[in-house]
Amino acid sequence: MSNESLANLLKEERRFEPPAELAAHANVTAQAYARAEADRLGFWAEQAERLSWTTTPRQTLDWSNPPFATWFADGELNVAHNCVDRHVHAGLGDRVAIHFEGEPGDTRTLTYAQLQTEVARAAHTLTALGVHPGDRVAIYMPMIPETVVAMLACARIGAPHSVVFGGFSADALATRITDADARVVITADGGYRRGKPSALKPAVDEALTRPGTENVRNVLVVRRTGQEVAWTKDRDIWWHQALDAQPHQHTAQPFPAEHPLFILYTSGTTGRPKGILHTSGGYLTQTAYTHHAVFDLKPDTDVYWCTADVGWVTGHSYIVYGPLANAATQVIYEGTPDTPHQGRFWEIIEKYKVTILYTAPTAIRTFMKWGEHIPAQHDLSSLRLLGSVGEPINPEAWMWYRRHIGADRCPIVDTWWQTETGAMMISPLPGVTPTKPGSAQTPLPGIAATVVDDTGTEVPHGHGGYLVLTQPWPSMLRTIWGDDQRYRETYWSRFTDRYFAGDGAKKDDDGDIWLLGRVDDVMLVSGHNISTTEVESALVSHPKIAEAAVVGANDPTTGQAIVAFVILRGTATETDTLTHDLRTHVAHTLGPIAKP
Ligand code: AMP
């Protein structure tokens, strides 16, 4: 598409009607908005019926002690049973749960029945290691099926997991292990990235030398790459050996709906990351519902692919819990989009006949840069729906995605949500909403969001301000792990009785919501949250740095890029080597994604 025709298209303020065929058979119709509007809690109570409960909840929301909510609190369920066993019991044991594509090209298929056995063996393993309900397990893994198995095994025995993105450094891992007081770490020797094995175990070994990590009793190690690993006797255990010693059946015990499911750390406006706590029943209800509604998932025929890493919330909610609760068939890809060539994603879509693709604007802009001739070499005709998440999608990228990936036929759902919200909050519905390039548009049924000005007054159509959520929702964070006060202050103090998301937003003349990026000191680099303070603290921990100031600058591909200004100490002098050292130092302290 030439720039001129693109500019014209955007100027026309075009809307794209839902495809007639999709709208005719859509899982969710416009009636859902009316239903939720008439009785919001009744609507969510109905959605909870998607799950299988050992004790059916009678109570929906308890908001008598804001901002601490409980949802479905008198209900009991087992999350792993809901994501795996019940599908097997329903006769879907032979359905593929995961098509795994390793970066080197190795593949594995896991059916729901096989997933059930793996989760059972892993659950027994954790119990044999003395992990009790409520104990925390840290997971530091590549994108392989065992990661999903590990998470589900934790859920099955009621041990909250804390998944730490595999790109984080040993220091960042240690901070998170300490904060959650984890008892076991599950990791791998490494994973494949950019054509070669990339080690993970050494970072775990290093992290476990740090004070505060002493309570980690065992490290379970998956063998993925076969690379050499250092071994600490009596602490380290091979995953495959441990699982082989365990029975293939496991009886799932029910837990209360408010039992903690996981902690996931996200950057805050101070240097210390926040452990976002999610619980079981409400979280699973909303992830399952939104996955069904927003992706219009037809579990019998769709092949779904979310390209996020499981270390981020998108991987938790839309690789593990939402899709598996819905008995979806999905693709999991281990590696980078340009290994061994820039057409890898499109090759995967062609190979597995992917019908629903969920990816990030940064990836789309990267594909734009590589050129449309690359996807054009592949048959993408299986696709029927496209999703976007992680950062605002600019209209140019939206149009490119629609045209060159979606062949002008697939609707695009731009889904706004955060680690804290647990599940999608603002998004078009593919069978209902005429979409607008660049806008997330409408709060989903059962969700209440608006835009307010500095004083907390709702802005009229056509005006901008801050995004707030005005009613509690089932998959909301329950607190910040170990810090109720920080939870109150961060999210509930800026505007009375409303949740402050930290995002700028505007309402257009139709009342549709456009997200404008963060308004706090959090940068969005390739859709990843990084706080300016965190990078500043990392810089001043370098012996040659006296002071540092960090800002996010616009970047055409990654959305924002990190720019650092530093003042050197005493006799230190500015050299190219020092600049390089500082970048490496930050990468070592926080992880390569945080490099200025
Ligand atoms: P995280 O908690 O790491 O998933 O990051 C959440 C943040 O990413 C949000 O607060 C937004 O700033 C941004 N974000 C996520 N999805 C979207 C979207 N569809 N449009 C605009 N911003 C988004």
Q: Give the CATH number of the domain where residue 549 resides.
A: 3.30.300.30
Q: Is 110 in the pocket of ligand 1 (CB under 6 A)?
A: no
Centre of ligand 1 from the C-alpha of residue 472, in Å: 19
Pocket test for ligand 1, best of 276, 386, 524 (most atoms within 8 A of CB): 524
For residues 524 and 516, is the Cβ–Cβ distance under 8 A? no
Name the closest-CA residue to atom 20, ligand 1. 392
Centre of ligand 1 from the C-alpha of residue 466, in Å: 14
Both 22 and 141 in one domain: the answer is: yes
Both 66 and 155 in one domain: the answer is: yes
Q: Is 529 in the pocket of ligand 1 (CB under 6 A)?
A: yes
The pLDDT value given to residue 6: 54
Q: Which of 402, 431, 447 is the last residue of a domain?
A: 447
Name the closest-CA residue to atom 23, ligand 1. 391
Tell me whether residue 517 is in a domain: no
Tell me whether residue 479 is in a domain: no
Both 537 and 396 in one domain: the answer is: no
The pLDDT value given to residue 1: 46
Q: Which of 447, 473, 503 is the last residue of a domain?
A: 447
- Beta bridge partners, 479, equal 277
For residues 330 and 318, is the Cβ–Cβ distance under 8 A? no
Strands of 453-596, DSSP E: 464-469, 479-480, 499-507, 513-518, 522-525, 528-531, 545-555, 559-568
Tell me whether residue 137 is in a domain: yes
Residue 75, CA distances (Å) to 59, 141, 409, 525, 588 in order: 8, 32, 42, 39, 44
- How many domains, in total, are found in the chain? 2
Both 212 and 113 in one domain: the answer is: yes
> What CATH number did the domain enclosing 352 receive?
3.40.50.12780
Both 543 and 428 in one domain: the answer is: no
Q: Is 418 in the pocket of ligand 1 (CB under 6 A)?
A: yes
The pLDDT value given to residue 572: 86
Tell me whether residue 64 is in a domain: yes
Both 438 and 538 in one domain: the answer is: no
- Separation of alpha carbons 536 and 564, rounded Å: 8
Both 263 and 160 in one domain: the answer is: yes
Both 535 and 419 in one domain: the answer is: no
Tell me whether residue 490 is in a domain: no
- Separation of alpha carbons 440 and 467, rounded Å: 12
Both 259 and 402 in one domain: the answer is: yes
Q: Is 390 in the pocket of ligand 1 (CB under 6 A)?
A: yes
- Separation of alpha carbons 360 and 441, rounded Å: 17
Query: Does the pTM of the predicted model rise above 0.85?
Result: yes
Cis peptide before 596 (omega within 30 of 0): no
Cβ within 8 Å of residue 306, ≥6 positions away: 314, 315, 318, 319, 323, 330, 358, 359, 387
Centre of ligand 1 from the C-alpha of residue 392, in Å: 7
Tell me whether residue 165 is in a domain: yes
Tell me whether residue 496 is in a domain: no
Both 194 and 284 in one domain: the answer is: yes
For residues 93 and 117, is the Cβ–Cβ distance under 8 A? no
Ligand 1 atom nearest 313 alpha carbon: 4
The pLDDT value given to residue 11: 55
Q: Is 414 in the pocket of ligand 1 (CB under 6 A)?
A: yes
Q: Is 391 in the pocket of ligand 1 (CB under 6 A)?
A: yes
- Separation of alpha carbons 314 and 322, rounded Å: 10
Both 434 and 531 in one domain: the answer is: no
Domain that holds residue 174: 18-447
Q: Which of 397, 416, 447 is the last residue of a domain?
A: 447
**Residue 361: which of 591, 560, 590, 593 has the closest Cα?**
560
Tell me whether residue 194 is in a domain: yes
The pLDDT value given to residue 362: 94
- Separation of alpha carbons 394 and 361, rounded Å: 8
Both 418 and 531 in one domain: the answer is: no
- Separation of alpha carbons 170 and 209, rounded Å: 10
Ordered per-residue pLDDT tens for the chain, 596 residues: 455 555 555 555 689 999 999 999 999 999 999 999 999 999 999 999 999 999 999 999 999 999 999 999 999 999 999 999 999 999 999 999 999 999 999 999 999 999 999 999 999 999 999 999 999 999 999 999 999 999 999 999 999 999 999 999 999 999 999 999 999 999 999 999 999 999 999 999 999 999 999 999 999 999 999 999 999 999 999 999 999 999 999 999 999 999 999 999 998 777 788 999 999 999 999 999 999 999 999 999 999 999 999 999 999 999 999 999 999 999 999 999 999 999 999 999 999 999 999 999 999 999 999 999 999 999 999 999 999 999 999 999 999 999 999 999 999 999 999 999 999 999 999 999 999 999 999 999 999 999 999 999 999 999 999 999 999 999 999 999 999 999 999 999 999 999 999 999 999 999 999 999 889 888 889 888 888 888 988 898 899 988 888 999 999 999 999 999 998 988 888 898 999 999 999 999 889 999 99
Q: Is 266 in the pocket of ligand 1 (CB under 6 A)?
A: yes
